[in-house]
Structure 1
């Protein structure tokens, strides 16, 4: 598999994304070289991926019957596609237009209609030889190539597939005319394949991001952060925000914590374990859950793990809690190793997984979703929505990334038969033999002394 390009390796050795987790965030500053690469090197890495992604685009366009694909970025209203079809830079033009055309035997034509030319853009796109209005240049492209369809970011189910604004739609109609409007189609199927296709060069950096996510969560759910009887849920959440800043990464959602304890009543909301209030104090005997993810290099992780706070005299979690974790591991195995294969419908995978759990007497929920380009990415989700089959089945794509998100609920004898939810979430990638974790799963609860 491809590793980091040489320019990045000069400042970032293998595994040093994880090294930022070796020192306490609040006490010891983290050296810049142990975080994600600085912006200039991250840009070089992402541009290398962009070239590889463009090389796949023509075949994708032909599979989806797209003659021309137009992405419009507006000032103060960035299109989320822009960073995936063009260099991930700030674009400050009123409208910056990126056009991809199937030119037949001439292959893929990539044209940028921006306010001004920069070397970063011209490495990937042609620019009109003669300066002219964007509308005129776009009309000339349509007249020259006469694409049967013009695909736009409209009418999709998800925000990234319907990101074209009404004003830009009307601008396109005025530029191209009513005859062209009749050829407008939704780019949603093309966008889904384009964003759900992972490149070999993304694998190792993404694995390092997952390892960094794991390391930060292990620290958050440890005595480095938690003092039983004193530390609140809000304290842990604030620590995680500070850890993000220190590691030079962002997040795409608010980190959540959940707390279960013996005798707790009404801990569930809409069938799931409810998020704990920030004022909740973490106590001995609690089972603490965190939902956390990071964003860097244009990629996102999603991660859920659990810790047990030892009571006085305890060396490990009660056996009943361990059996609850084992039930969730059985659910992971059913989904990842036995039900999932490239080309299978995610709806069938869901049904087969839940059928196996029912046969084993395990109360289970599965709500796994694509991962990578976004936290809730495009692709085949394995969840109750897929199982409803209200839309055309989505097939699992080899190489795709998935957040294997699920839970089981188990009665714990040591807690008087109280129902305990063990929720897990791990990034994984699809092989011919099923899903594989980027880093090993949680085989035992993290222990807080």
Structure 2
């Protein structure tokens, strides 16, 4: 287990977790050893700031028990440490600070008695800060995960995989799943592929479409490895090669550029110490000033892909987010910059939402936020003019049609 020193600003003396196998406290997944896959029996964890009583004992103290012997030992430790406050995860609004099950609270009250349970306090930011904070050594692995997902995206939205008139969006979803298996990674967010149209939002599922020339493709998914997660949305375009088209239509490029400009604005306004709602309000003002129609719904990404920390908009809450939007932006964290720009496409006589999502990290106080790998500034292109250089025949490219 990791050793944690609580910041003095919390004024806390101890933090207690009690959970049973298959009913873990939410924060257990962020403090456990990498070789532990669950809480065994009843697992009780006590972090403390004590520096005198029982000197030399580990921090945290850990009990794994199914006999009830944990309780007299825990009472003895509390007598020795005499904490003024005991923090427990009982927050009603923030999931990462509210993982103590009702049954565990009942038995804590019964076994510890009023003397100690009267000192229970709820300090949700303790859990939020702990889970949000990134360890510097993680970045080199997170970069490799980003490189992996970009390679998947570039291959999937290309003539190596897509055959217009044959490949379906469901085929592409299964291609991503099979590719993740090949790369020995899992997913928290199943791949959702769709052909964009004016109704494609928020897009909790993919479309059921046969990919055709002239289609704009969109994917939203994330991979998971080493207790880290990505969250990415990219766009692809299928050239109308039967009509001699060689490039992505200019109006689509303008729409993508608008979404890139929105990303710039979010990173400029994503200032440490501001609340998520303050960032959102500042971004919305600038979008109005620059006459950009769009919406921002960005979130922290850490031990959980939709992680604890300040949320900047929701798809259904474009102006103000209760609870999570009132949390502060923290340094040393990762964010997923998720948004769309709406742009009218004359060739289609319709407006499309250009939905993008990229992951960023906090570098330091002077250098601020940076994209982990970069951001999409050009469409992934399906160009059947290049197909002959990749294959001997169409059936060899369409590798999943006959699964």
TM-score w.r.t. the length of structure 1 is: 0.78
1:402 counterpart residue number: 335
User: How far 1:355 moved relative to its partner?
Assistant: 1.3
Q: Which segment is superposed worse, 422-431 or 322-331?
A: 422-431
Report the CA distance between 1:273 and its aligned residue: 5.2
- When residues 92 and 68 of structure 1 are mapped into structure 2, their CA distance, relative to the original with a 3 A threshold, is closer
In the TM superposition, what are the counterparts of 1:224-235 in structure 2 within 5 Å?
224-235=160-171
Structure 2 alignment gaps of length 5 or more = 384-403
Q: CA RMSD in A?
A: 2.3
Report if the CA contact (8 A) 1:273-1:421 is conserved.
no
Question: Is 1:194 paired with 2:144?
Answer: no
1:115 and 1:183 map into 2 onto residues whose CA distance is 24
Distance 1:71 1:218 in 2: 44
Partner deviation per Cα, 1:18-70 (whole Å, 9 max, x = no partner): xxxxxxxxxxxxxxxxxxxxxxxxxxxxxxxx64xx3xx3233x322322111
Helix, strand or coil: the match of 1:79? coil
Matched, 1:99 2:28: no
The reply to whether residue 359 of structure 1 matches residue 289 of structure 2 is: yes
Maintained 8 Å contact 1:334/1:353: yes
Distance across 2 between alignment mates of 1:434 and 1:350: 18
Instruction: Sort the Cα spacing of 1:274 and 1:80 in 2 relative to 1 into closer, same or farther, 3 A.
Output: closer
Is 2:297–2:318's contact at 8 Å kept on the other side of the alignment? Answer: no
For residue 368 of structure 1, what is the aligned residue in structure 2? 298
For 1:171 and 1:250, how far apart are their aligned partners in 2?
A: 36
Alpha carbons 2:277, 2:326 under 8 Å: kept: yes
Q: Is the 8 A contact 1:268 1:274 kept in 2?
A: no
8 Å CA contact retained: 2:22, 2:38: no
Asked if residue 331 in structure 1 is aligned to residue 262 in structure 2, the reply is yes
- Equivalent in the alignment of 2:159: 223
In 2, are the aligned partners of 1:428 and 1:437 still within 8 Å (CA)? Answer: yes
Supply the distance in 2 between the matched residues of 1:187 and 1:246 (Cα, whole angstroms): 42
Answer yes or no: is the 8 Å Cα contact 2:156–2:172 preserved in 1.
Answer: yes
Q: Deviations over 1:75-101 (max 9, x none)?
A: 222333223223131346320111101
3-state secondary structure, aligned to 2:255: helix
Aligned length: 372
**2:355 aligned to 423, 443, 447, which one?**
423
Distance 1:167 1:333, change over 3 A: same
Matches within 5 A, 1:17-416: 51=2, 54=3, 57-60=4-7, 62-88=8-34, 89-91=36-38, 93-104=40-51, 109-115=59-65, 133-260=69-196, 267-269=199-201, 272=202, 275-277=205-207, 279-312=208-241, 313-336=244-267, 338-383=268-313, 388=320, 390-391=322-323, 393-416=326-349
Q: Distance in 1 between matches of 2:293 and 2:261?
A: 11
Cα shift at 1:224:
2.4
Q: Please say which of residues 66-75 and 135-144 is displaced more in the overlay.
A: 66-75
Q: Secondary structure at the match of 1:414?
A: coil
Contact 2:298 2:335 in 1 (8 A): yes
For the 8 Å contact 2:311–2:321, the answer to whether it is kept is: no
> Tell me, which stretches of 5 or more residues in structure 1 are unaligned?
1-49, 117-130
Q: For residues 156 and 301 of structure 1, what CA distance do their matches in structure 2 show?
A: 28
